[in-house]
Structure 1
Amino acid sequence: MEAFRDMEDVSFWLLNLLGANRAETQQRKVLGRHEQMVERLLETQDGADQQLRETLAVEEEVARSLLELKECTSLGGTELQQLEVEIQKASKEDACVQARLCQLTTELQELREMEADLQRQEREMDEDTTITIPSAVYVAQLYHRISKIEWDYECEPGMIKGIHHGPTVAQPIHLDSAQLSQKFISDYLWSLVDTTW
């Protein structure tokens, strides 16, 4: 019986030993799994950190693009406002030019009528031989009365000189036809003519 008891003790001790070995094996397995889980967790965390950095970089790029777009939109709005102001200004100038053109057309028509009237009077005067005035002198006197310009006929060739006797102040005229266009000279001289009749 004692041998049986010794055998039982040995069996119990072997079972404990085997149990301890299993526990250690299981503990190793659990520790191995734990290490794998920690490694996976660290890998997942590294991946998440990488994705977070990439997401932040993308968000930063999107924010930069949005700010640039807002700046471009703001500049475009400013340019649009400037264009609208310029369009309004051009419309006003166009209205002024149209009004001035109508006025000049009317004045031109009146001058043509006056010229026709003068030609008619010239013909009548030519028919009436009691007073004979050379037509060039008569036209020069008429132009002087209309334009109020006293010409300097002794100036150098290519120069246009004279004095315009305006409503308040006499103004000298000194133009070089070699440097200025005929249109500019004509427009300038017409601008001196008083339009109030």
Structure 2
Amino acid sequence: MAAFRDIEEVSYGLLSLLGANRAEAQLRRLLERHEQMVERLLETQDDADQRLREVLAVEEEVAQSLLELKESMRQEDTKLQQLDVDLQNASKDDACLQARLCQLTTELQELREMEADLQQQETKVDEDTTVTIPSAVYVAQLYRCISKIEWDYECEPGTIKGIHHGPTVALPIHLDSTQLSRKSVSDYLWSLVDTAWEPEPGLTPR
């Protein structure tokens, strides 16, 4: 604004000079002063242009930063939406896991009850076996004492083999059960039993 006021002052000075027809020296001074003012005006304009370029550069940088910020916000918003979806899926998975856990807990409880019941049954079987085994052993001992027959349990299927320890000699037994009736086999075996027998010492019923 000062530069324009100087130009206005020079213009008034020139008009005054022309009107009053002053000396040439004064005109020269005014022209030099006018030239200085023009240079100052040009410098001011260059400075203004530089400042304008700087302002435009700053505005461009700010605009670029704003665009980058918007893009970053958009990406963060996308990530936030994805996290929300993941959270919902995780909540569904957690609910499924909780339900599965409850089911497994129930199944585990049932298995424990079955195991306890099985242990009770095994204990009962052991007790029954403890009671019945001596009777089975006694029956086997009694049968051997009566029949005097030592059986061959490794013979072929359908074959009855053993040794009958008679009063004087041992008689081998070899029968084909596929050719004989069960009654014939029973009668033959009972025919080997000596009717005059006495229990061996120490063999008493339980």
The normalised TM-score by structure 2 is 0.51
CA deviation after TM superposition for structure 1 residue 131, in Å: 9.0
1:35-184 to structure 2, matched below 5 A, reads: 35-129=35-129
Structure 2 unmatched ranges of 5 or more? 1-19, 134-206
Report the identity percentage: 73
CA deviation after TM superposition for structure 1 residue 25, in Å: 2.1
Separation (CA, whole Å) in 2 of partners of 1:25 and 1:85: 89
2:33 aligns with 33
CA deviation after TM superposition for structure 1 residue 94, in Å: 0.9
Separation (CA, whole Å) in 2 of partners of 1:103 and 1:23: 118
- Which digits, 9 at most, give the CA deviation of each residue in 1:129-167, with x for residues without a partner? 4999xxxxxxxxxxxxxxxxxxxxxxxxxxxxxxxxxxx
- Which digits, 9 at most, give the CA deviation of each residue in 1:46-84, with x for residues without a partner? 000000001101111111111111111111111111111
Separation (CA, whole Å) in 1 of partners of 2:34 and 2:132: 135
Which amino acid letter does the alignment assign opposite residue 124 of structure 1? K
Which amino acid letter does the alignment assign opposite residue 58 of structure 1? V
**4+ residue runs over 3 A deviation:** 129-132
The normalised TM-score by structure 1 is 0.53
Question: Whose radius of gyration is greater, 1 or 2?
Answer: 2
- Which digits, 9 at most, give the CA deviation of each residue in 1:33-56, with x for residues without a partner? 211111111000000000000110
Work out the number of aligned pairs and report it: 113
Separation (CA, whole Å) in 1 of partners of 2:104 and 2:92: 18
CA deviation after TM superposition for structure 1 residue 128, in Å: 2.5
Separation (CA, whole Å) in 2 of partners of 1:101 and 1:37: 92
CA deviation after TM superposition for structure 1 residue 125, in Å: 2.1
Separation (CA, whole Å) in 2 of partners of 1:71 and 1:131: 88
Calculate the aligned-residue CA RMSD, in Å.
2.0
